């Protein structure tokens, strides 16, 4: 089981700035029409978590808010078209799992960090095509 969260520090700063904006605009209630929905969006995003479960034949990707599942996708290895290993940001890895049907998985910032090796071995065992960018190969060294 692998886990990931959103970048809560940045989102918390944005939330505090939004609350400060609401306090300053007390005489302009029309600004609340965009500040309140934006602050609700930030709170929901702060509480969001991601789960990836790898079994012998399937990958299960879940998006949770608190402990409530809002999206769950289980993909059998025969429904995976390919896995693309990339670099994202300065020094982080990303795996895009391309599916026949539905959304593709973007697996980044998951812990523990062995998720990338586990996905690579999963693809090798089930003969799923793999592509790695040059930038990703630099990170593997």
pLDDT value at 113 more than 90: no
Phi, psi dihedrals of residue 102, rounded to the nearest 5°: 85, -170
Q: How much is the pLDDT for 6?
A: 85
Nearest-angstrom CA–CA distance, 29 and 91: 44
At the top level of CATH, the class of 47-140 is mainly beta
pLDDT tens digits, 67-95: 999 999 999 999 999 999 999 988 889 99
Cβ neighbours, 10 Å, residue 87: 19
pLDDT value at 61 more than 90: yes
Q: How much is the pLDDT for 89?
A: 85
Domain boundaries, the chain: 2-45, 47-140
């Amino acid at each position: 089981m692998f886990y990931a969260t959103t970048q809560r520090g940045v989102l918390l700063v944005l939330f505090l700035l939004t609350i400060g904006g609401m306090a300053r605009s007390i005489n302009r209630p029309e600004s609340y029409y965009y500040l309140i929905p934006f602050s609700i969006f930030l709170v929901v995003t702060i509480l969001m978590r991601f789960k990836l479960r790898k079994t012998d034949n399937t990958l299960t990707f879940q998006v949770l808010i608190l402990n409530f599942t809002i999206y769950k996708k289980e993909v059998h290895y025969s429904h995976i078209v390919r896995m693309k290993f990339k670099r994202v940001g300065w020094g982080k890895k990303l795996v895009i799992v391309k599916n026949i049907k539905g959304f593709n998985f973007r697996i980044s910032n998951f812990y523990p960090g062995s998720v990338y090796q586990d996905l690579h071995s999963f693809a090798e065992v089930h003969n799923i095509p793999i592509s790695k960018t040059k930038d990703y190969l630099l990170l593997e060294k």
